[in-house]
Structure 1
């Protein structure tokens, strides 16, 4: 679309969308995606300090939580009118069809077609009675782009998990831009611009908007600069819809009737408390106190329990250091520590490793020490020659030696 035609399409979109967005709370949410990503999470038993890597593979996660499956069967490359009439001709309009029809009406003049199988939908489909989702390919003539929308309803009293409706920690997950705001009506909105893979191993961009209103109405949108979320080459420099348009689309009042028609969610289930390890705050305090002399802490972070990190500098450049402190790991000790593990006088097993970093940063090196005590307390710590695992190396070697890392991991402070 070029010249006057493109301008007409633009004007039509702005007018149509403007009328469509008078109401609806705002609240883009990274729900479900803990913003913290360094460390091994409870239930993750086999890897050392891998949580950062997990987050890397899906910060989209962070911005894409709640997006559902590809429910666009029967929607080929059609015009808005064709889509609407075809749906009505089939009889009752399902929630998924309503999502598609509304999405088609709110978008600029572009073709919407079914997303190819390698895309988001089939893998992450949430066929919950309390959600309605669709994944399509948006084509405005400048390159096909995957686009997903999910509408859901949750109990207003339901507590959000750690990091939900928040921006990720930039030391753990690379992204271009993120804003998380609470609107005047109490809605929460998160706008995110990043990559499908935060380590940039592929140039597939992921932009998203997530809105959660005080009533528990949620609108989650995501778009990519490729026909599918993963597995296909990029087709355009960036996703088609700007942050402002994504925000406006999430706020469109046309979504409200669809969400209101979803079954009312049940009361939140009160689960029995699960024993938890040491708090992230306590771990961060202990780690900071155990650092060798000559290191200045430039940044730090933690998750609710079991994990913390610091970015230190000894004058030679920044170095990322992360630690996990996990009780009750005796059941996996044999998997984590082989016969070649060093055994200390108190029975603590120690395994060391050094080599290339796990992520895609150029020249990144890692040093790692993993320990487990006879009572099952596992302390694993690693250091990198970069400020984070997603960027290129900033110095020749990590700021801490293997001996210094082992001294921290085997300190008696973790047993208190």
Structure 2
């Protein structure tokens, strides 16, 4: 494992709701999920921890995904997601108004909402536990054992976290069979996704997920698999046990209200600062398209603050090209651009990398040009020999040469004005 990947894994493990996985993985496989927030450069800590990464701009496309790994749905010791938010609200949060519930009471709530079947391997946390309330178990409805888990938490219903986690991911980065959003009667918002444990589908483990945000700022996060464990267990059935309708009924049940009432409400999120001029997603996407060689025909694309990607095809197959634009990175110059870095006449430092893809796609390679300007602006451009990192290579090399990647990264279009 490279130093870059180790830094990224450590960052992912420490980030609560990301998703993270991941939802940047959605354990190791979704590490892109958490990096998206980093790419925006809004927080110095996130920026520093992700700075060593050279291909993690993909997170913005999938940051809406929640994951059992991130939220602690399966009772892991490192769970710091919605449950953690509930247990440790930010300053200014309102105290819970209901009595505390034990882990067994939370588990019993989950059991009472499941279809008939044999239940085993129960575990979870109570509302006063550090990891926040959650329950997980294995259900066998006669068609095979399956893991099911739920966590309850608190979030600013009007904040960025809720918005991100309710959004369906971008299929360029996260494959799934279906995803839908809806606003329910009463104002609760719901996202239900039928996806896969591994984005590259290396095994047939399916992961279905429902995430609910109530108008008063509580969350119910449910996950299920078609295997008795999230990872490392053989698939026991074609699909998870709960249908989309049953998964929706599970998270919207009033049975979770006593659990919610025991939790402190989350404080309002601070109003995000707008990106520096020229660093918004629309501008970055427009500039990226303008800097592509004429042969690279854009098939699709998307931008967000500090980030954009396009999928291009020059007649030789699809190729993903992605970019991070991060101001204020001067303090990382020595760490990322050592003695071997090329220094241009204007003082811009440049390093390049040719590496295997990191998301499991067969034969995928990643070419990267990483640059740091004297004013602290870092521009990182990567291209792949596939239209997505988690699918097999569609061509021998990326659609852009290393020289072209360097030209994009060093362009004057990225200067902060």
Match of 1:232 in 2: 233
Deviation, structure 1 residue 168: 0.5
Is the counterpart of residue 183 in structure 1 residue 184 in structure 2? yes
Q: For 1:104, which of 86, 107, 111 is the aligned residue?
A: 111
Deviation, structure 1 residue 398: 1.2
Contact 2:155 2:161 in 1 (8 A): no
Match of 1:18 in 2: none
Task: Mark the CA change 1:219 to 1:61 in structure 2 (over 3 Å): closer, same or farther.
Answer: closer
Deviation, structure 1 residue 412: 1.1
Deviation, structure 1 residue 163: 2.1
Q: 1:235 & 1:126 partners in 2: Cα distance?
A: 32
Deviation, structure 1 residue 405: 0.8
Deviation, structure 1 residue 276: 6.0
Q: 2:407 & 2:331 partners in 1: Cα distance?
A: 24
Contact 1:30 1:210 in 2 (8 A): no
Q: 2:324 & 2:100 partners in 1: Cα distance?
A: 50
Task: Mark the CA change 1:233 to 1:339 in structure 2 (over 3 Å): closer, same or farther.
Answer: farther
Deviation, structure 1 residue 67: 5.1
Match of 1:394 in 2: 394
Task: Mark the CA change 1:356 to 1:107 in structure 2 (over 3 Å): closer, same or farther.
Answer: same
User: Secondary structure of 1:104's match?
Assistant: helix
Task: Mark the CA change 1:216 to 1:136 in structure 2 (over 3 Å): closer, same or farther.
Answer: same
Match of 2:75 in 1: 70
Task: Mark the CA change 1:173 to 1:379 in structure 2 (over 3 Å): closer, same or farther.
Answer: same
How high is the TM-score relative to the length of structure 2? 0.75
Contact 2:191 2:211 in 1 (8 A): yes
Task: Mark the CA change 1:209 to 1:258 in structure 2 (over 3 Å): closer, same or farther.
Answer: same
Is the counterpart of residue 302 in structure 1 residue 303 in structure 2? yes
Is the counterpart of residue 47 in structure 1 residue 39 in structure 2? no
Deviations 1:268-292 (A, max 9, x none): 2647859868222221111111111
Q: 1:157 & 1:54 partners in 2: Cα distance?
A: 19
Q: 1:60 & 1:137 partners in 2: Cα distance?
A: 23
Q: 2:281 & 2:166 partners in 1: Cα distance?
A: 20
Is the counterpart of residue 253 in structure 1 residue 254 in structure 2? yes
Which range moved further: 326-335 or 194-203? 194-203
Deviation, structure 1 residue 311: 0.8
Contact 1:385 1:393 in 2 (8 A): yes
Within-5 A mapping of 1:154-165:
154=155, 156=157, 158=159, 160=161, 163-165=164-166
Contact 1:326 1:378 in 2 (8 A): yes
Deviations 1:297-324 (A, max 9, x none): 1111122x21110111122222110001
Is the counterpart of residue 213 in structure 1 residue 214 in structure 2? yes
Contact 1:30 1:165 in 2 (8 A): no
Contact 1:364 1:392 in 2 (8 A): yes
Task: Mark the CA change 1:55 to 1:133 in structure 2 (over 3 Å): closer, same or farther.
Answer: farther
Is the counterpart of residue 346 in structure 1 residue 346 in structure 2? yes
Is the counterpart of residue 336 in structure 1 residue 336 in structure 2? yes
Paired positions, count: 359
Q: 2:271 & 2:161 partners in 1: Cα distance?
A: 14
User: Secondary structure of 2:383's match?
Assistant: strand
Gaps of 5+ in 2: 1-16, 25-31, 77-98
User: Secondary structure of 1:374's match?
Assistant: coil
Is the counterpart of residue 361 in structure 1 residue 361 in structure 2? yes
User: Secondary structure of 2:133's match?
Assistant: strand
Task: Mark the CA change 1:248 to 1:105 in structure 2 (over 3 Å): closer, same or farther.
Answer: same
Task: Mark the CA change 1:161 to 1:253 in structure 2 (over 3 Å): closer, same or farther.
Answer: closer
Tell me which of the two structures has the higher relative contact order, counting C-alpha pairs closer than 8 angstroms and 6 or more residues apart: 1
Deviation, structure 1 residue 69: 5.4
Deviation, structure 1 residue 249: 1.8
Match of 1:268 in 2: 268
Q: 1:96 & 1:254 partners in 2: Cα distance?
A: 15
User: Secondary structure of 1:229's match?
Assistant: coil
User: Secondary structure of 1:176's match?
Assistant: strand
Q: 2:285 & 2:68 partners in 1: Cα distance?
A: 27
Q: 2:64 & 2:237 partners in 1: Cα distance?
A: 21
CA RMSD of aligned residues (A): 3.4
Is the counterpart of residue 281 in structure 1 residue 279 in structure 2? no
Deviation, structure 1 residue 346: 1.4
Deviation, structure 1 residue 138: 1.5
Q: 1:49 & 1:30 partners in 2: Cα distance?
A: 17
Deviation, structure 1 residue 105: 2.1
Contact 1:165 1:188 in 2 (8 A): yes
Deviations 1:372-396 (A, max 9, x none): 1122211110111211111112223
Contact 1:110 1:140 in 2 (8 A): yes
Deviations 1:218-277 (A, max 9, x none): 222101122222333333332221212111222223223432x32452642647859868
Deviation, structure 1 residue 109: 2.1
Q: 2:252 & 2:209 partners in 1: Cα distance?
A: 13
